[in-house]
Amino acid sequence: MWKRRTLGLLFIGIVCFMLLLARLMQIQLFKTEAFSKHNVNLLEESVKQRTQELVIDNGRGNFLDRSGDPLTHKKATVLVLFPFLKKMDWDVESVAEITRIPKDSLLTSIETAKKPFAYGEPDPVELSSFQMDRINGLKIPGVFAVEKKFERTEVPAEQLLGLTGENAEELKKRYPDKELSEKTLIGVSGLEESFDEFLLPEGKSKLVYHVDGGGAPLFGINVKYVDPANPFYPVNIRTTIDKTLQQRAENLVDQYQIRKGGLVLLDLQDNSVLALVSRPAINKKAPYDGIGISNQMVKQQIVGSVFKTVVAAAAIEQNLDNPNRLYNCSKKINGKPELKYDYGMLNITESFARSCNRTFGELAKELQKMNLNALEQTASKLSLIDSVGWQGDIYHTSDFKQLPDEDKGRVFISDEARHDANFAAMSGIGQHEVRATPLAVANMMATIARGGQKEMVSVVSKIEYKNGTTMADFSKKNLKGDIISPYTAMKLQKLLREVVLNPNGTGRWFKELPYEVAGKSGTAETGKFLNGKQLHNKWFAGYFPYKQPKYALVTVNLDVPDNEGGVNLLFADMVKMLYEENN
């Protein structure tokens, strides 16, 4: 009996020992970098307990402007000091002489430090390459001059580029087959989100030293430089943004106190975004609260009279643009007297220049009788209601979208509205259910300027490896679907130019600009009220120079009273700025 009991206890002991051994093997051999469901890196955590470190680069990919200048960060050569210096004698006089930082300031900063730091953070003192070489030549343990990556506090085109954050659950959902630390940053909006898979870090670059329980150095005072040492990663996303133009555009938008709205500037040569400003800005203290995180330039808005461009195009294609036909612009679209905008009898060219609602309400109803889908089909031909952001197959990804959060536009929601003559008239002036994004409006102007050819809009030109070679190119692509005829495009170009040339045109303010402008204004009722006042969306959309187009530009101020605007002045100043840049 006692033998069986002893054998039983021995068996249980062996089983427990084997389970413990298996657990130890799991922890120390097999799951060292992704332990438990939280993917804890045990090696990193064990090292953290006995080391102090300064992260030089978090390893996530970077965004550059079209010239290769960093947008979301800057790299600066800085003086790095380690806190163990307070416990040793070191040549502070030489460091002070080389860096031109007072000796007492250096000693004071170290005395209060508990971890390694770049001197002067968050606004560190930048060193030259000559100073860096001299500092490192001193070979003082705990004193280094290194190039460190700093995140910018003010990021240009911040809604377009987007935000990052830590979210362990979302990380696992996106990348179930990757072993990533829970602390890995992921993109949560904008290009940070759409390009997230390319931007994931391979590891951090950092300076590390070992400490005892009191923070004193272990194993002497050797500091190690830790780097993933991958010549290809992290990658750089080269955007089409011109950083200088972007910053100047943002200053102008704020100068004209556009609280909700912004602008889109396209380069017609490759149909890329040169500058994009969205307001309100992101709230730095609570970035996910409110609408600041949303890029208003890719969200559908009520476009108002800008949509008359579509009606004019449809009328031209259906031979309804008889120049001798006159419209009674002393009446509203419902037939009642027009007291505010009493223009008398106008032909289609005058009506477009002065933005007569009656003309385009009647034309929309006539087009509806001829073809229920005429307005929608023409809006699509002009790239107004479809997605216009670049999409296609890239690298190992099919149907990749640069702007996945881009809204589509629309003319009608319901078939009932499509059949109703009154709704057709309201749609003809860009009201009722008509919606489009400012980006699509800019692309419509670009399409007309090119003679009808409609192209995708790109905000990224290529993905580059760390060593500067190209991983993937985003080549210029046409949008699918029917297009307007060159004849229609030519007539639209003349109509848009007449808006500026006509002494009573809604764009007459732009006649004296250094570039010849063609475009269309819009004032849309939003159905919202503030202090009893109807709120409007104010637009001006156009392209320039008229004869040899280089740019398409949209300026928009959303949800403002009728007496507020700013879009004309903003448009004009952008044109002047671009002229000065090129001359």
Residue pair 522/307 in contact by the 8 Å Cβ criterion:
yes
CB hemisphere CA count around 442 (13 angstroms): 32
- The one-letter amino acid code at 26 reads Q
What are 153's two structure tokens?
A: 């506090």
Using CB atoms within 10 Å of the CB of residue 64, give its burial: 0 to 12 exposed, 13 to 18 middle, 19+ buried. Answer: buried
Query: Residues 117-130, buried b or exposed e (16+ Cβ, 10 A)?
Result: bbbeeeebbebeee
**In DSSP terms, which residues pair with 238 in a beta bridge?**
64, 462
What 3-state class would DSSP assign to 577? Answer: helix
- The sheet carrying 73-81 orders its strands as 117-118, 73-81, 143-151
Which residues are identified as catalytic? 305
Given the structure tokens 């602390």, which residue do they identify?
183
Contact 161, 93 (CB under 8 A): no
Q: Strands 551-561 and 261-267, how do they pair?
A: antiparallel
Cα 479 to Cα 471: distance, rounded to the nearest angstrom: 24
Q: Strand, helix or coil at 509?
A: helix
Cα atoms in the Cβ-side hemisphere of radius 13 Å centred on 415 = 0
Helices (H), 274-401: 308-317, 348-354, 357-370, 374-381
Cα–Cα distance, 59 to 448 (Å, whole number): 43
Dihedral sign computed on CA atoms, order 409, 393, 158, 513: negative
Task: Report the distance separating Cα 540 and Cα 148, nearest Å.
Answer: 43
Straight-line distance from the first to the last Cα atom of the chain, in angstroms, rounded to the nearest whole number: 105
Concatenating the DSSP letter of every residue in 191-240 gives HHHHTHHHH--S--EEEEEEB-TTSPBSSTT--EEE----SS-S-EEEES
Distance of CA 500 to the CA centre of its chain: 31
Token pair in block for residue 443: 């692309």
Q: Which of 240, 281, 249 is nearest to 461 (CA)?
A: 240
**What six digits make up the tokens of 77?**
């050569």
Cα 538 to Cα 560: distance, rounded to the nearest angstrom: 8
Cα 463 to Cα 198: distance, rounded to the nearest angstrom: 8
Distance CA 409, CA 30 (A): 52
Measured distance CA(566)–CA(274) in Å, rounded: 21
* Pairwise CA distance, residues 583 & 579, whole Å: 6
Residue 448 has a CB neighbour count (10 Å cut-off) of 31
Pairing of strands 236-239, 62-64: parallel
